[in-house]
A and B are shown apart, each in its own frame.
Chain A
Amino acid sequence: MSSTEQGTSSAAPAEPTTAPESAAAPEVPESFYYVHGKDKVVHKVSAGALQHSALIHGMISNLGYTEEQAKANPFPFENIDGDILQMVVDWCNQHKGKPTPPEDTNLPKQKEKLFDLVLAVNYLEIKELLTYCCKQVAMMVKGKSPEEIREIWMIPTDAEDEAAEKEAKKRAGKEAAGETAAAAGDAK
C-alpha cells in the first residue's frame, strides 16, 4: 500500500493573531484521519477538513483514535476512484474552516470525471460540493436543444424507455415463474 500525506497543517505558517502571546489559549493539536479509495492510495486529512463530509464526520466523531490508531485504520472507500477521492480531499482541505464561496470554478470539465465526482460527493454527503457539482452538470445543457440534451446526458428516447420497461417486465415474469417452479420442486 502506497501512502501520500496531504492536508497536514504542520508545514503551514502559524495563523496571525492580535492577542498577546501570554493570553493566547493553548492550541489543541489537530487530529488527522486517513482515507483511501479504489487505488488504495492513502490520504491524510485533518478532522477539520473532514467536517465537510457528513458521512465521515459521523464516523469519526466518537472514535477518539490516537494518531497511530488512525494511521493503522484508514477509512476504505472502495467505490470511489483514487483520482476522484483526491479531488474530494483537495476540496475539503481548501475549504477547511472557511465559508464556502457561491461558485466553484475548479471542478472537472470532463463529463465522466464530473459524473463520478457527483456520485462520490453524494456518497460522502458533502452538501456544498454536491451543489457546486450539480450546478456544473446543469450548466452543461444551458441553451441546448432537446436532442443535444439527450446526447449530453445520454437519455433514452420514449421508444427505448418502453422497450426497456417491456424487457424488465418480461424478466421479472420469468424470474417469478422460476421461483414458483423451484418452490414446487422443493415441496416435492
Chain B
Amino acid sequence: MILSKYPYVIQKEILDNMEYSDLFMFSFVSKKMKKVIKSSQMDRFNSISSIVYECDRTDQSWVCISKKWIEIMRIVKHEEGGNGYFQLNVCGKTIDFRQTSFHIPFIPKLQNVSFCVDFHLFGDRAKNGTTNFTEMEKLEKFFCSSPVLKSIKVSAGTSTAPFNPESKFYQTESVESEQDTLIFPAILSHFQGRQAFIRCHSCEIFNLIEFINRWKSGRALQKLEYLQIEIFEPELRPNQILNAVAAKQMNATSQPATHIVPKIYNWLYSKPNTDPIISHAYVVRETDSRVASVQIQDNTLSFGVWNKTEEEFLKMVS
C-alpha cells in the first residue's frame, strides 16, 4: 500500500481518523508527510488550546489534550537495557521512544507555543515518609532543560530546599504561588518575570522593604508589572513599610488612579485581571522615573507598575 498514491482527499480522510499519538509518530516519517499532516489537520490542531502534563504519584506524567483529556503520550523512566526503544530527533534533542510510551525529560521549545504548568509539590508519605516535597533537584533539571514558561501555578507544602537563585523558574512570565507553611518567599528576591501572586505563611517586613527598594533602584525586577503578596503573619503595618521605602503620597484630595492589568494567564477559576490597586502611595524608579502604586491592606502588599513617568502619572491623576 503506497499512501502517496492516494489522492489528497483520501490521505486527509485517513489522517482525520488517526489518533494524535499516531499522528505525532507519523510526523517523523518524512518532511513531506509532516507537511501533509500540518496542512490537512489544521482545524483539528487549531482546536487545541493547550496541552496538559498530568502528573500522578507514579512519577510518569500523562500528556493530554486539554479539556478533552485525549492522551498523546506518557513520559516514563528510561529502563536501562530495556527493549523496543527507538530514537527520534525532537526539536534538536534526541529522545528515546517506546512503542506505547517514551521518555521525554523536558518540554520542547516549539514555535508559537507557550507552556503553563500547574505544580502540586507535595511528597509521597508512603514512599518518603513525609509530605514535604523532596525532589527539588529533579524540578530544577526540568526548568533547566525547558523553555521559559509563560505561567506557573505552584501549590506546595514545605520544600526542603529553595530554587537555585539562577533557576529558570524565576524567569517565568507569571507565577502564582501558594505555600501556606513557607516562611520566606525567595521569589521576592529573584523574580525576573512580569506578574507574581504569592500567598504564604509569613514574611519578614524587611524582605518586603528590600523588594521595593530593589525595584526602585532599577537593579532588578525591570520587567515587573504586578506583584501581590498575602501573608498570615506578622501583621503588616502600612506606614512602617511606606516610610521605609520613602514612598511618595499623592495629594490627598485627588482621586488615585486604579491600577489593573490583564493576567498573563487566566487559570481555571481565577479572575482574568489583577486585583485593582487604588492607592495614594507610590514609589519612583531611579533609573527611568517610572511609577509604581503601592497598596497595603488586609495583610496584602500589592505593587503595580505604571507605564508612566512620575510627571505623566501625576498629570493623569490631577
Contacts and interface: CB of A to CB of B under 8 A. Distances in A.
Given A112-B1, A141-B26, A145-B99, A158 B19 contact: no
- How many chain A residues sit at the interface, stated as a range, is 20 to 34
Contact of A138 (B4, B17, B32): B17
Nearest to A155: B29
A122 interface: yes
B10 to A, nearest CB: 6
A119 B7 CA distance: 9
A115 B29 contact: no
Contacts of B4: 154-156
B26 A149 contact: yes
Contacts of B88: 146
A135 B22 CA distance: 13
Interface centre among B9, B17, B88, B100 (most CB of A within 10 A): B17
B232 interface: no
Contact of A145 (B1, B16, B25): B25
A114 B1 contact: yes
A157 B30 contact: yes
A115 B4 CA distance: 11
Main secondary structure of the interface of A (DSSP, over half): helix
Contacts of A56: none
Contact of B13 (A134, A147, A161): A134
Given A119-B10, A146-B28, 18 more contacts: A118-B6, A122-B7, A130-B13, A131-B17, A134-B14, A137-B14, A137-B17, A142-B19, A143-B21, A144-B22, A146-B25, A146-B29, A150-B29, A152-B1, A153-B2, A154-B3, A154-B4, A155-B4
B10 A118 contact: yes
7 contacts: A130-B10, A141-B18, A142-B19, A143-B100, A144-B25, A146-B86, A152-B1
A111 interface: yes
Nearest to B99: A143
A122 B9 CA distance: 9
B31 A161 contact: yes
A115 B30 CA distance: 21
B139 interface: no
A141 to B, nearest CB: 6
Contacts of B21: 143
B97 interface: yes
- How many chain B residues sit at the interface, stated as a range, is 20 to 34
Interface in B19-41: 19, 21-22, 25-26, 28-33
Interface of B: 1-4, 6-7, 9-10, 13-19, 21-22, 25-26, 28-33, 86, 88, 97, 99-100
Nearest to B18: A138
Contacts of A150: 29-30
A131 B19 CA distance: 15
Contacts of A111: 1
A141 B25 CA distance: 9
A155 B14 CA distance: 15
Contacts of B97: 145
Given A122-B9, A153-B1, A142 B29 contact: no
A145 B95 CA distance: 13
Nearest to A152: B1
A24 B315 CA distance: 89
Contacts of A112: 1
B1 A115 contact: yes
Nearest to A130: B13
A122 B29 CA distance: 25
A138 B33 contact: no
A153 B28 CA distance: 14
A146 B100 CA distance: 12
Given A118-B6, A154-B2, A155-B30, A143 B17 contact: no
Interface in A5-56: none
Contacts of A145: 25, 86, 97, 99
A141 B7 contact: no
